[in-house]
Structure 1
Amino acid sequence: MVGNNNSSNSKKPWSSLSASTSSSPNEPHEANEHTRLLPNRIDSTTGPVGPAPGPGGGYLSPSDPAVSPYNLFTVRLFRSLTILFTLLAFAWWVLLLVSVFVTPPGLHIRGSPFFAFSYATVSLLTLIVLLLFFAVPSKSARTLSFVTGGVLVVDVIMILAVARLRHEEGVVGTISVVWALLVAIWSGVVGRTVKWGKAEEEERLTGRPETRRTVFEWSEVLLSTIALACIAVAVILMTLTLTLRAVDSGARPPGERYWVDEDKYQIHLHCVGNRTDGHGGKTITVLIEGGEDPVERGLWQFAEGAVKNGSIGRYCFADRPGMAWSDTAPSPLSASMASDVLSETLARAGEEGPWVLMSAGIGSLYSRVFSSRHGDQVHGILMIDPLHEDLLGRVARPGRGFWLWLRGFISPCGIDRILGALLRGRRSADRIWGRASYQSGTTIFAKLQESLVADSLTKRDVASSRAIQDKDTPVVVISSGKQLRKDREWEVKQRDLSHLTRYLEAWDIVEEAPHRVWDDLKGREVIEKRLERLVRFRL
């Protein structure tokens, strides 16, 4: 009798469900979400081991696999959407990764492409973490997702509100940060939905929501919390770096920026001096090409001093794409492409020469390509410790390329730039073209572009330029004595460059000068003397 009563009581929790699906005990239940998933458990009168005790007889054990939030259509829908979003995020991530090396049409970013790539990485990692720990929601994970979303709201506002950031990030960067924001919000909403679904199913199938967790579940919660905390910290650092970029956008460049390459991006050009001399003729303009560093870091100050001393009357310089004040160019970017960009910039500014070209280090390769294409306007070439095309393999080393890519990938976090601003008093000028400019994502990207094609496209461009170079153009080579002494191959190639044309004006070796010869007092004196001679010779 007692057994019969218990059996009758055990049916009570499901009476309303039975009434809604069948008109009599002998008729089959109408299929619904619960009966379809648990056809053999829903009307069970036994627990996991035997007859269920008490009035809750028929409830499942909390550890039963059937007690799952996946029983609910809403939870399954959210998981399917999360998988779809993950596939879309992965496709976007791959596109942005490829665009660093070869820019597809419409994916060019005028600033650092690593910023958009980092936002895409944040989105992808957030979705992967969400999928891995989907069925184990936690308050800490939801909180971190919403904190990340709040910080990303600040990023979106800054990019849209600051004109320079909006110009640099463009559509691709803006889409990336908005997508990261939506993913962060989605992660929090999904976590809340799964928590609700889990509680619903536990109460329906076990009689009460389960507040305890297994050791495995606690491990999953810990791992998801650590992963999302790392993502949140990275986003906060990216926001601080973006803030520094917003501050730097207020610094006005000397000269002007000009649209080039069908108005895809802008190149900075700065000229000082009168275009005509006192007799109605054109002033010979010294066109400066920077080396491994922007022109503004050293050579600009040297040119200013040369004008004040009367050694030269006029100079111009343009920052190569990605350097200092110039936007980045699509990949790949070879020496001939950069030379075309320089020519277009000068044309748009109304600068026609005649020129004396002064260049340093790797910049000498760009000047040589420019000279070969504007031979009638080039009245002299002065190269400061120039890089020879046969040594471009050093620039194109795979290890160097990977290191540049890795530096670019972490550059949006900007730890070194943030610490420099907070602890070392670094200013906008330091970050744009000064001693901290090498930390900039645009500069790193420019050097990566240079490295990727150095031993292929650029080497071919320079070899072609040598063949068509005007052989009557005066050439001056000024070499670093320190560099020659430590690198025998460098010395051999410096000698070869002294035979670039039939007219060698001089090959000077400044014994105690480093690679940046103008950093040495004697080196500056030699450069100014030779530059003045090249300019005066053609007057």
Structure 2
Amino acid sequence: MVSLWGSKNNDDDQPQEEHDGDGAQATASEPQPNRSSEDTNERSRLLPPKRQNRGQGYLSPDDPAVSPYNLWSVRALRWFEVLFLMITCLWWVLLFISIFVSPPLFNSRGSGFFDVAYTTLTIGNILTALLFFATPSTAMSVLSMAVSVLLLINMIIILAVPRIRLEEGWIGIASVTWAALIGLYNVLTNKTVKWGKAEEEERLTGRTETRRSLREWCAVFTATFLMSLYVVIVVLFTAVLVIRSRDASLAPPGTRYLVDGDQYAIHFACVGNQTYYTDGKPKPTVLLEGGYMPVEDGFEDWVYEAWANKTIDRYCYWDRPGIAWSENAPSPHSAGMSADAISEALAVAGEEGPWILVSAGIGSIYSRVFSARHPRDIRGMMFIDGLHEDLLYRVANPGRGFILWGRGIISPLGLDRLAGALFKGRTKEDRVFGKSSYQGGKFIKNKLQENLVANSLTKNEVVTARNIQAPKVPLVVITSGVHLKKDKDWERKQEDLTKVTEKLLAWDVVKGAPSEEIWRTAEGRKVLEKRLGELYKAAASKE
């Protein structure tokens, strides 16, 4: 029986002899020099002989077995990368929640948006490292190192500037430090994987592969693009921190007072000295409550003129949490919480009133809540284009809240602030309390906090305040004529504000005056000072 491999029985294992024409013998094992392909038979070798000089047993570089994952050190680094991603995502969730509801010890006196920005960058950095883990490159190492160095510079700026260090707190310091460490870890990982890849290629293929496939080149280019983007982002973070450092050098005109268990500080200032009537009782002090923008952005100017003209003897003002020189409060934060904050600051400052409350826009909501909580200390109220509680739903609009949240998330990039500083000549005064103050993260968070509770907590508080408002408090309502023309509901609501107390002194409509900024026109300033003087005299007669 003939086997498949060309052998018969045991006898066939012996060499077979063949005779040529000359009778010479030749064994079957000897090669035949002129044998043609037709001479191939069942005894012919099917596989070519192995060539030892070709590298017996080596794999192709494209073989899936040629992988740096064969090394336990490389696998361990990747496991740690996944672990770091899980920790960072958990931290990001906590920071995201703290913007809306601050957990214990998670309140940031600053906006909290920088913390989220650093953590988001860290997540992107880790995901990039994981996606392109097996295709290390020199460009990726260099860019990762650049990100880490810039983040370390960010950390140094935060720690070196007392105001920024206080606003960012331990949460911001921890976030930027973690981001920098992850960048350094990625540099180490990239170099280790590069070494492991070369090690395995030499062991399994006999040489180190210097070529890259199209797929690998696409991965390298994508990773390089992403890392370059991260470098640009961190450069913007650094530039914004430099601007914040400059702004921190602008000293407040008043004093910051810690409130709410020392969780944050609010800015409070006064102009003029306390004066007294002949019987020794203190004269009332005007207390300003700003509207959408800070008090210092023009609103205080006409009151200063009234003080300089001796229309009033003294006035004070404060910045709500997140506005101008005040720090951000924990979330959620309502009008009643702001009223408690200024009440505590007044007590710490030794200010006892009595008060004439002058407010603009949404500030009228805050003044009414404050008035209801201090009924014996209020000698008069003035609403300048004041917001009615029935219109708070406009402040609480979900679309507006989403836009505020989006602006807050990208605020650490400082695209508008940097452009203003570089090309428009914006000063630190503009950014702290002026026209550009709305671009800051603290301001945005203040407006987001207003948005979240305007139609719930704040509305309930102001409705309650109206029910317990002292009825004999002198009241002045001044309305923008421009606003009346633009908003049909505004006139009806302004008329209702004249009934907050039973003692209305005047309701003036100033034609041509802008909404919530009646003091921007000469006629507006004239009417405001006149009515404030009347409130002052009414308070004196009441005494």
Give the C-alpha shift of residue 209 in structure 1: 1.1
Q: Tell me the secondary structure at the aligned position of residue 418 of structure 2.
A: helix
Gaps of 5+ in 2: 1-47
> Where does 1:161-310 land on structure 2 (aligned, <5 Å)?
161-277=160-276, 279=278, 280-310=280-310
> Where does 1:60-459 land on structure 2 (aligned, <5 Å)?
60-277=59-276, 279=278, 280-459=280-459
Aligned-partner Cα distance in 1 for 2:281–2:396? 44
Q: Tell me the secondary structure at the aligned position of residue 54 of structure 1.
A: helix
* Corresponding residue of 2:23: none
Q: Which amino acid aligns with 2:253?
A: P
Does structure 1 retain, via aligned residues, the 8 Å contact 2:277–2:283? no
| Count of matched residue positions in the alignment of Structure 1 and Structure 2 | 491
Aligned-partner Cα distance in 2 for 1:84–1:242? 30
* Corresponding residue of 2:519: 518
Against the structure 1 CA distance between its residues 534 and 50, is the aligned structure 2 distance closer, same or farther, given a 3 Å change threshold?
farther
Aligned-partner Cα distance in 2 for 1:69–1:50? 33
Aligned-partner Cα distance in 2 for 1:381–1:79? 65
Give the C-alpha shift of residue 277 in structure 1: 2.9
Does structure 2 retain, via aligned residues, the 8 Å contact 1:267–1:319? yes
Aligned-partner Cα distance in 1 for 2:349–2:400? 36
Q: Tell me the secondary structure at the aligned position of residue 110 of structure 1.
A: coil
Q: Tell me the secondary structure at the aligned position of residue 387 of structure 2.
A: coil
- 1:305-348 CA deviation, whole Å, 9 max, x = no partner? 11101111101111000000000000000110111001001111
Give the C-alpha shift of residue 258 in structure 1: 0.5
- 1:127-173 CA deviation, whole Å, 9 max, x = no partner? 01111111111111111110011111111111111111111111001
Give the C-alpha shift of residue 212 in structure 1: 1.1
* Corresponding residue of 1:527: 528
Does structure 1 retain, via aligned residues, the 8 Å contact 2:474–2:538? no
Give the C-alpha shift of residue 55 in structure 1: 3.9
Aligned residues with identical type, % of pairs: 52
Aligned-partner Cα distance in 1 for 2:208–2:446? 57
Aligned-partner Cα distance in 1 for 2:101–2:211? 52
Does structure 2 retain, via aligned residues, the 8 Å contact 1:52–1:59? no
Aligned-partner Cα distance in 2 for 1:53–1:139? 36
Give the C-alpha shift of residue 276 in structure 1: 2.4
Q: Tell me the secondary structure at the aligned position of residue 477 of structure 1.
A: strand
Against the structure 1 CA distance between its residues 532 and 209, is the aligned structure 2 distance closer, same or farther, given a 3 Å change threshold?
same
Give the C-alpha shift of residue 508 in structure 1: 0.5
* Corresponding residue of 1:488: 488
Q: Tell me the secondary structure at the aligned position of residue 538 of structure 1.
A: helix
Q: Tell me the secondary structure at the aligned position of residue 182 of structure 2.
A: helix
Give the C-alpha shift of residue 50 in structure 1: 11
Aligned-partner Cα distance in 1 for 2:345–2:50? 87
Does structure 1 retain, via aligned residues, the 8 Å contact 2:275–2:313? no
Q: Which amino acid aligns with 1:521?
A: A
Against the structure 1 CA distance between its residues 507 and 200, is the aligned structure 2 distance closer, same or farther, given a 3 Å change threshold?
same
Aligned-partner Cα distance in 1 for 2:253–2:51? 84
* Corresponding residue of 1:472: 472
Aligned-partner Cα distance in 2 for 1:367–1:396? 19
Give the C-alpha shift of residue 52 in structure 1: 7.3
Q: Tell me the secondary structure at the aligned position of residue 184 of structure 2.
A: helix
Q: Which amino acid aligns with 1:402?
A: F
Give the C-alpha shift of residue 57 in structure 1: 1.9
Aligned-partner Cα distance in 2 for 1:52–1:357? 100
Q: Tell me the secondary structure at the aligned position of residue 53 of structure 2.
A: coil
Give the C-alpha shift of residue 82 in structure 1: 0.3
Against the structure 1 CA distance between its residues 278 and 464, is the aligned structure 2 distance closer, same or farther, given a 3 Å change threshold?
closer
Gaps of 5+ in 1: 1-48
Aligned-partner Cα distance in 2 for 1:85–1:51? 49
Against the structure 1 CA distance between its residues 380 and 191, is the aligned structure 2 distance closer, same or farther, given a 3 Å change threshold?
same
- 1:232-272 CA deviation, whole Å, 9 max, x = no partner? 11111010000011111111100100011111111000011
Give the C-alpha shift of residue 507 in structure 1: 0.7
Give the C-alpha shift of residue 217 in structure 1: 1.2
Aligned-partner Cα distance in 2 for 1:105–1:54? 71
* Corresponding residue of 2:13: none
Deviates more, 1:299-308 or 1:369-378: 299-308
Q: Tell me the secondary structure at the aligned position of residue 431 of structure 2.
A: helix
Q: Which amino acid aligns with 2:490?
A: W
Give the C-alpha shift of residue 512 in structure 1: 0.9
- 1:192-245 CA deviation, whole Å, 9 max, x = no partner? 111111110011101111111111111111111111111111111010000011
Q: Which amino acid aligns with 2:529?
A: E
Give the C-alpha shift of residue 521 in structure 1: 1.1
Give the C-alpha shift of residue 54 in structure 1: 3.0
Q: Tell me the secondary structure at the aligned position of residue 471 of structure 1.
A: coil
Does structure 2 retain, via aligned residues, the 8 Å contact 1:274–1:283? no
Q: Tell me the secondary structure at the aligned position of residue 461 of structure 1.
A: helix
Does structure 2 retain, via aligned residues, the 8 Å contact 1:478–1:508? yes
* Corresponding residue of 1:6: none
Q: Which amino acid aligns with 1:389?
A: E
Aligned-partner Cα distance in 1 for 2:192–2:397? 50
Does structure 2 retain, via aligned residues, the 8 Å contact 1:380–1:474? yes
Aligned-partner Cα distance in 2 for 1:246–1:380? 41
Q: Which amino acid aligns with 2:534?
A: R
Give the C-alpha shift of residue 51 in structure 1: 6.0
Q: Which amino acid aligns with 2:535?
A: L
Q: Tell me the secondary structure at the aligned position of residue 410 of structure 2.
A: helix
CA RMSD, 1 decimal: 1.3
Q: Which amino acid aligns with 1:282?
A: P
Does structure 2 retain, via aligned residues, the 8 Å contact 1:52–1:58? no
Aligned-partner Cα distance in 2 for 1:245–1:53? 70
Aligned-partner Cα distance in 2 for 1:320–1:204? 68
Give the C-alpha shift of residue 53 in structure 1: 6.8
Aligned-partner Cα distance in 1 for 2:525–2:141? 61
Q: Tell me the secondary structure at the aligned position of residue 401 of structure 2.
A: helix
Give the C-alpha shift of residue 281 in structure 1: 3.0
Against the structure 1 CA distance between its residues 50 and 397, is the aligned structure 2 distance closer, same or farther, given a 3 Å change threshold?
farther
Q: Tell me the secondary structure at the aligned position of residue 291 of structure 1.
A: coil
